[in-house]
């Protein structure tokens, strides 16, 4: 009897020990910093606070890159949370992966002291050092004078080769334009008029499902698809959270401009006509993407990066490309004569976020060496193009190209997970590559870009005399040295009245803008919205942005001297 | 004492467990009284007393989430409670053992689904092209499909329905167990005395499970402010945010997302204190009524 009890106790003890060790094992796997596996390959962890696709553990190109660089990185992505929630949770837990990209939550990581200052290291890594100019590195310094993150994107090695409008626009399916004989569409009224006419003539898809003329994504932070169009409609470039007038250098609130009222009034009318998808304001992001993937949605406002990846691949795999379901951007403004500035060219460094190394990383130099190695041309080609003769071919002039079969294969989700490894949230070059012949990215290779386009899109671009997506909306220079000011607004916190106001503004707009669009009486709804909007005192927000605009202008003037 | 040594040792394990996981984290409440900055840590953040609580109670947003939490908590409590008891009694009246088993199994299975799945099903079913709208249109109860999630007035109802659907079968198990424990002689005696089904339910079953009902009511009363997080978070959207956000969502939004850990903690502390008060009151009332109670 005694013995039985004793054994039982031992068992309980064993169970507890195993749970406890389970805990600590979980913790150590999180901070498994630069643990070496058998092949001498270092393993790092990376959390990216944006949604992304995880690749398989035995991914082929990842393995190849590991052989070259001596390291591999296990990436995890945002799921079901906002960036700030995920980052806030990490901070509260106090344990970090080796690499982190905080996205919207970057400033929180900085304030929590979670990041390693990189400025002392940068000089030792030539590829990293050359990634930015001196002025650009300076602009990355935080309030304490140190650099904590390296922005990954918008960086051309050679000349800029941009082909896609990787920004916001009024998008429309090519079939709508084709049906109307490729008319000139430049105003909001023309845009909706076209959609209305098309919808009346073609209410369904060939398979009988109903078309959705216009949908609005409004899920959490992605409600920009509803709210910030007034800025573009008035012909301003995407400063994000407010207008910065290039003439007066003054900050303007785009929520209360006359154009804003006209725009929402239009949406209200279209909603009543049944053109605006009645589920717009209650759909979740994945429902929205699923809708676009069926090819039923004729048009919407969105950022290219927010939908193209999943949607274009889905359209391709289902053969919907041949029906003209792909989207092209249009240079829409509020009225004729206003210059469209939906697209700005030139490398703009997003100083608000980038890849960081956390204080939990035991091998900072190894981590930086990995970033450095990823920027060598050999690895860039592996990341962007894949393996030679498998994922791309080289013609007699040394130009890279893909066959239609390869193109089909590289859009296959399973293949992407088991074979392709882009390390997409590590610093990457675009534009012309070091061989001065090929673009760093397949979609920027002129011949590859054109032949990879669906026939309908090719035809459409030709009809508008465009070589690529950007020509559809027109190129513009960056309006000024403050641009884009949203990189500052992203770092505002509740510590200041302006930061608190910014959150309240968003909260009010998320509730009232849908109400305004759905209001039986628009004037009434707008009046109510404006009344509530004023209560959060938007001026407090604008007053904090203005000094930053001034500071950035001053900084650039100083640098120019 | 000697004979209980082993038992005491056993319970010690759970005392340690409870201390580590239930009491130790309470030290974190300290954050509510300081201006906590992760960089400075617990011990070096500035102490500000009740400042964060003051900030809470002048915020209209917080008062609104208290209202939402209380409303949804009470609605959920009443509805799921009544549904479970009624369901248990109905199930008990079933004569066929096989049918009873089947119904019971099917009805408690949803309990094991996670909320993300349940809300996904609801979102689909209640969407413009979902089954509910489809039925309503076919029966000509509606002319146009109704977007249920676009109207604040339906939100609490949808949440209550979701809770009932998911938990009724599970909650009924405990009542069924209590009903089975009632002495069958009582039923026989009552039947001989001419009591019909209704009378037997009213005078034997219900009094028989009364202690169970009261204990569960007491325990659930403390959970009123745990009106939920996942359901509201997953079903909510901008249009209904004024009725959908609960204290837990508020804590997430300001505490975690905006990095104001102190404000989030203060809201959490407030919630816990109110919950304890509610339990004390409910327990006191039960005591006065001479019923079963927790302590």
Q: Quick one: closest CA in A to B241, which residue? A: A511
Helices A497-518 and A538-560, axial angle in degrees (round to 10)? 120
- pLDDT value, residue A147: 95
Residue pair B214/B286 in contact by the 8 Å Cβ criterion: yes
In a domain, residue A495? The reply is yes
Number of independent structural domains in chain B: 1
- pLDDT value, residue B128: 80
Domain residues for A86? 37-158+350-387+416-431
| A47 membership: H or E segment, kind and range | strand A42-48
Whether residue B258 and residue A92 make contact (CB cut-off 8 A), yes or no, is no
Whether residue A278 and residue B128 make contact (CB cut-off 8 A), yes or no, is yes
In a domain, residue B219? The reply is yes
Kindly state whether residues A211 and A191 are assigned to the same domain: yes
In a domain, residue B39? The reply is no
Kindly state whether residues A96 and A62 are assigned to the same domain: yes
A486-541 confidence digits (pLDDT tens): 988 988 888 889 998 999 999 999 999 999 999 999 999 999 999 999 999 999 99
Neighboring chain A residues of B241 at a CB cutoff of 8 Å: 507, 510-511
Which one of B39, B128, B242 has the shortest CB-CB distance to A111?
B39
Kindly state whether residues A301 and A176 are assigned to the same domain: yes
Beta strands in chain B, from DSSP E residues, in sequence order: 34-35, 46-47
Neighboring chain A residues of B239 at a CB cutoff of 8 Å: 281-282, 511, 514-515
Domain residues for B268? 49-288
Q: pLDDT truncated to tens, each residue of chain B (295 aa)?
A: 677 888 899 999 999 999 999 999 898 899 899 988 888 888 888 899 899 999 899 888 899 999 999 999 999 999 999 999 999 999 998 888 898 999 999 999 999 999 999 999 998 898 888 899 999 999 988 888 888 998 999 999 999 999 999 999 999 999 999 999 999 899 999 989 988 889 999 999 999 999 899 888 888 888 888 888 999 999 999 899 999 999 999 999 888 888 889 999 999 999 999 999 998 998 888 888 777 777 7
Kindly state whether residues A144 and A190 are assigned to the same domain: no
In a domain, residue A55? The reply is yes
Whether residue B258 and residue A493 make contact (CB cut-off 8 A), yes or no, is yes
Residue pair A484/A238 in contact by the 8 Å Cβ criterion: yes
In a domain, residue B28? The reply is no
Beta strands in A52-173, from DSSP E residues, in sequence order: 71-77, 99-101, 168-173
In a domain, residue B1? The reply is no
| B103 burial level (CB within 10 Å; 0-12, 13-18, 19+) | middle
Separation of alpha carbons A231 and A217, rounded Å: 18
Residue pair A509/A223 in contact by the 8 Å Cβ criterion: yes
- Which of A431, A463, A488 corresponds to the end of one domain? A431
DSSP 3-state of A481: coil
Separation of alpha carbons B194 and B182, rounded Å: 19
Which one of A16, A112, A511 has the shortest CB-CB distance to B38?
A112
DSSP 3-state of A425: coil
Separation of alpha carbons A430 and A378, rounded Å: 14
Kindly state whether residues A232 and A320 are assigned to the same domain: yes
B99 Cβ partners below 8 Å, 6+ apart? none
Separation of alpha carbons A57 and A39, rounded Å: 15
Long-range contacts of A189-198 (CB under 8 A, 24+ apart): A189/A266, A191/A299, A191/A330, A191/A332, A192/A266, A192/A270, A192/A275, A195/A275, A195/A298, A195/A299, A196/A270, A196/A273, A196/A275, A198/A298
- pLDDT value, residue A31: 43
ipTM for this prediction: 0.83
In a domain, residue A14? The reply is no
Whether residue B238 and residue A108 make contact (CB cut-off 8 A), yes or no, is no
Number of independent structural domains in chain A: 2
CATH number at residue B159: 1.10.3720.10
Alpha-carbon gap: A343 to the closest alpha carbon of chain B (Å): 29
Separation of alpha carbons A253 and A271, rounded Å: 25
Tokens matching residue B23: 């009491």
Nearest to A88 by CA among A108, A68, A74: A108
Whether residue B10 and residue A9 make contact (CB cut-off 8 A), yes or no, is yes
Whether residue B255 and residue A88 make contact (CB cut-off 8 A), yes or no, is yes
At A20, is the pLDDT very low, low, confident or very high (cuts 50, 70, 90)? very low
Question: Among B56, B257, B268, which would you mutate to test the A interface (most chain A Cβ atoms within 10 Å of its Cβ)?
Answer: B257
Neighboring chain B residues of A515 at a CB cutoff of 8 Å: 239
Neighboring chain B residues of A494 at a CB cutoff of 8 Å: 254, 258-260
- Which of A400, A431, A462 corresponds to the end of one domain? A431
Neighboring chain A residues of B252 at a CB cutoff of 8 Å: 85
In a domain, residue A28? The reply is no
Q: Is the pLDDT higher at A226 or at A317?
A: A226
Kindly state whether residues A180 and A311 are assigned to the same domain: yes
Alpha-carbon gap: B48 to the closest alpha carbon of chain A (Å): 15
pTM: 0.85
Alpha-carbon gap: B54 to the closest alpha carbon of chain A (Å): 16
In a domain, residue A11? The reply is no
% residues pLDDT > 90 (chain A): 73
Residue pair A559/A519 in contact by the 8 Å Cβ criterion: no
Neighboring chain B residues of A507 at a CB cutoff of 8 Å: 61, 241
Whether residue B38 and residue A503 make contact (CB cut-off 8 A), yes or no, is no
- pLDDT value, residue A7: 57
In a domain, residue B132? The reply is yes
Backbone φ and ψ for A450, nearest 5 degrees, come out as: -65, -45
Kindly state whether residues A198 and A269 are assigned to the same domain: yes
In a domain, residue B22? The reply is no
CATH number at residue A232: 3.40.190.10
Neighboring chain A residues of B149 at a CB cutoff of 8 Å: 282
Q: Kind of pairing, strands A71-77 and A99-101? A: unpaired
Whether residue B238 and residue A5 make contact (CB cut-off 8 A), yes or no, is no
% residues pLDDT > 70 (chain A): 93
- For chain A, which residues lie within 8 Å of any Cβ of chain B, measuring from their own Cβ? 5, 9, 12, 16, 80, 82, 84-85, 88-89, 91-92, 94, 108, 111-114, 218-219, 223, 278-279, 281-282, 284, 287, 493-494, 503, 507, 510-511, 513-515, 518
At A37, is the pLDDT very low, low, confident or very high (cuts 50, 70, 90)? low
In a domain, residue B118? The reply is yes
Kindly state whether residues A303 and A360 are assigned to the same domain: no
Whether residue B259 and residue A511 make contact (CB cut-off 8 A), yes or no, is no
Q: Mean pLDDT across chain A, nearest whole number?
A: 90
Residue carrying structure tokens 């717009």: A280
Kindly state whether residues A122 and A233 are assigned to the same domain: no
In a domain, residue A403? The reply is no
In a domain, residue A443? The reply is no
In a domain, residue B293? The reply is no
Kindly state whether residues A121 and A193 are assigned to the same domain: no
In a domain, residue A80? The reply is yes
| A514 membership: H or E segment, kind and range | helix A497-518
Radius of gyration of chain B (CA): 24
Which one of B13, B255, B260 has the shortest CB-CB distance to A12?
B13
| A6 burial level (CB within 10 Å; 0-12, 13-18, 19+) | exposed
Facing residues of A430 across strands?
A156
Kindly state whether residues A172 and A154 are assigned to the same domain: no
At A394, is the pLDDT very low, low, confident or very high (cuts 50, 70, 90)? very high
């Amino acid at each position: 009897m005694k013995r039985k009890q004793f054994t039982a106790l031992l068992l309980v003890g064993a169970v507890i020990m195993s749970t406890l060790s389970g805990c600590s094992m979980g913790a150590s796997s999180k901070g498994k910093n630069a643990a070496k596996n058998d092949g001498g390959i270092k393993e790092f962890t990376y959390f990216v606070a944006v949604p992304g696709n995880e690749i398989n553990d035995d991914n082929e190109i990842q393995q190849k890159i590991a052989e070259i660089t001596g390291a591999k990185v296990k990436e995890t992505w945002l799921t079901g949370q906002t960036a700030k929630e995920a980052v806030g949770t990490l901070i509260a837990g106090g344990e970090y992966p080796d690499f982190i990209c905080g996205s919207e939550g970057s400033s929180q990581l900085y304030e929590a002291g979670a990041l390693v200052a990189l400025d002392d290291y940068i000089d030792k890594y030539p590829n990293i050092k050359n990634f930015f100019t001196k002025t650009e590195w300076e602009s990355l310094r935080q309030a304490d004078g140190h650099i904590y993150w390296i922005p990954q994107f918008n960086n051309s090695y050679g000349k800029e080769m941009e082909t896609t409008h990787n920004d916001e626009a009024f998008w429309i399916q090519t079939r709508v334009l084709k049906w109307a004989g490729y008319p000139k569409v430049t105003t909001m009224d023309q845009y909706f008029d076209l959609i209305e006419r098309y919808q009346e003539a073609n209410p369904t898809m060939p398979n009988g499902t109903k078309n959705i003329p216009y949908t609005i994504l409004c899920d959490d932070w992605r409600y920009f698809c509803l709210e910030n169009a007034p800025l573009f409609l008035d012909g301003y470039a995407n400063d994000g959270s407010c207008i910065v007038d290039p003439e007066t250098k003054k900050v303007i609130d785009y929520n209360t401009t006359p154009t804003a009222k006209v725009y929402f009034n239009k949406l209200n009318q279209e909603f009543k006509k049944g053109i605006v998808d009645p589920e717009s304001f209650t759909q979740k992001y994945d429902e929205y993407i699923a809708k676009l993937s069926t090819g039923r949605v004729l048009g919407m406002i969105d950022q290219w990066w927010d939908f193209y990846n999943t949607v274009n691949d889905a359209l391709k795999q289902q053969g919907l490309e041949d029906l003209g379901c792909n989207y092209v951007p249009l240079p829409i403004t509020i009225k004729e004569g206003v210059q469209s500035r939906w697209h700005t060219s030139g490398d703009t460094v997003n100083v608000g976020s980038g890849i960081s190394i956390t204080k939990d990383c035991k091998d900072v130099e190894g981590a930086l060496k990995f970033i450095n190695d990823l920027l060598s041309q050999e690895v860039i080609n592996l990341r962007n193009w894949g393996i030679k003769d498998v994922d791309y071919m080289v013609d007699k002039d040394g130009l890279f190209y893909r066959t239609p079969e390869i193109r089909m294969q590289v859009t296959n989700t399973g293949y992407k997970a088991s074979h392709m490894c882009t390390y997409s949230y590590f610093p990457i070059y675009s534009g012309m590559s070091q061989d001065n012949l090929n673009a760093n990215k397949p979609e920027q290779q002129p011949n590859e870009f054109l032949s990879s386009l669906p026939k309908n899109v090719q035809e459409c671009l030709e009809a508008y005399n465009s070589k690529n997506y950007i020509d559809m909306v027109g190129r513009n220079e960056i309006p000024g040295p403050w641009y884009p000011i949203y990189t500052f607004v992203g770092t505002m916190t509740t510590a200041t009245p302006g930061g608190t106001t910014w959150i309240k503004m968003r909260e009010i707009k998320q509730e009232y803008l849908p109400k305004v669009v759905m209001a039986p009486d628009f004037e009434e709804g707008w009046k109510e919205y404006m009344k509530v909007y004023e209560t959060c005192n938007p001026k407090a927000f604008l007053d904090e942005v203005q000094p930053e605009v001034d500071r950035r202008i001053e900084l650039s003037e100083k640098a120019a001297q | 004492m000697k004979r209980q040594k082993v038992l005491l040792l056993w319970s010690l394990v759970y005392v340690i467990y409870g201390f580590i996981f239930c009491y130790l984290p309470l030290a974190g409440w300290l954050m509510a009284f300081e201006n906590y900055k992760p960089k400075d840590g617990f011990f070096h953040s500035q102490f500000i007393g009740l400042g964060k609580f003051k900030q809470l109670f002048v915020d209209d947003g917080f008062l609104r989430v208290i209202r939402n939490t209380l409303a949804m908590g009470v609605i959920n409590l009443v509805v799921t409670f009544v549904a479970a008891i009624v369901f248990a009694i109905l199930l008990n009246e079933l004569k066929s053992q096989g049918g009873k088993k089947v119904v019971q199994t099917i009805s408690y299975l949803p309990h094991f689904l996670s909320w993300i799945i349940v809300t996904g099903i609801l979102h689909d079913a209640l969407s413009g092209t979902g089954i509910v709208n489809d039925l309503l249109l076919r029966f000509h109860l509606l002319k146009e499909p109704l977007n249920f999630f676009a109207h604040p007035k339906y939100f609490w109802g949808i949440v209550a329905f979701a809770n009932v659907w998911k938990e009724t079968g599970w909650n009924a198990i405990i009542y069924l167990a209590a009903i089975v424990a009632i002495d069958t002689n009582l039923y026989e005696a009552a039947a001989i005395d001419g009591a019909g089904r209704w009378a037997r339910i009213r005078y034997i079953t219900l009094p028989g499970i009364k202690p169970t009902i009261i204990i569960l009511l007491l325990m659930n009363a403390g959970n009123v402010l745990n009106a939920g997080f996942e359901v509201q978070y997953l079903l909510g959207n901008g249009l209904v945010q004024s009725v959908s956000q609960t204290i837990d969502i508020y804590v997430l939004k300001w505490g975690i997302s905006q990095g104001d850990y102190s404000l989030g903690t203060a809201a959490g502390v407030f919630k816990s204190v109110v919950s304890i008060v509610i339990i004390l009151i409910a327990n006191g009332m039960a005591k006065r009524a001479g019923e079963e109670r927790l302590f």
